Amino acid sequence: MGLRRRPRPFAEALQRFQGRIAPPTLLGEVQRLWAPALGEQIAAHSEPVSERQGVITARCDSAVWAAELTMLARSLCDRLNGEFEGRRPVLAIKFTAAPR
């Protein structure tokens, strides 16, 4: 009889698959890193939707969240860039209110 491999977490398989299909763009990388870098609470109320010349625009589910995150934008940008292993490709993050 052949040996069975031990079960692996689904997240592991999903991460490998996502790495193969995600677009090789700054926006694609930011979308992949958004929740791990900024936290689940911020990710639950905002999502990166566009990028232009290093500036990420993120849609928030309310004006209150957009205002709050705008005040934290510099530190959030630093946290996001920390995931890029020494590179600083994200120049700024703009938050807009646009409910999903």
Q: Are 75 and 32 in contact (CB under 8 A)?
A: no
Please report whether residue 8 resides in a domain.
no
Q: What's the pLDDT at 24?
A: 77
Please report whether residue 11 resides in a domain.
no
pTM of the model: 0.76
Please report whether residue 64 resides in a domain.
yes
Instruction: Supply the CATH number for residue 43's domain.
Output: 3.30.300.180
Please report whether residue 90 resides in a domain.
yes
Range of the domain at 52: 26-97
Please report whether residue 41 resides in a domain.
yes
Q: 70: left (phi > 0), else alpha (psi -120 to 50), else beta?
A: alpha
| Total number of domains in the chain | 1
54-85 pLDDT, tens digit per residue, is 999 999 999 999 999 999 999 999 999 999 88
31-45 pLDDT, tens digit per residue, is 999 999 999 999 999
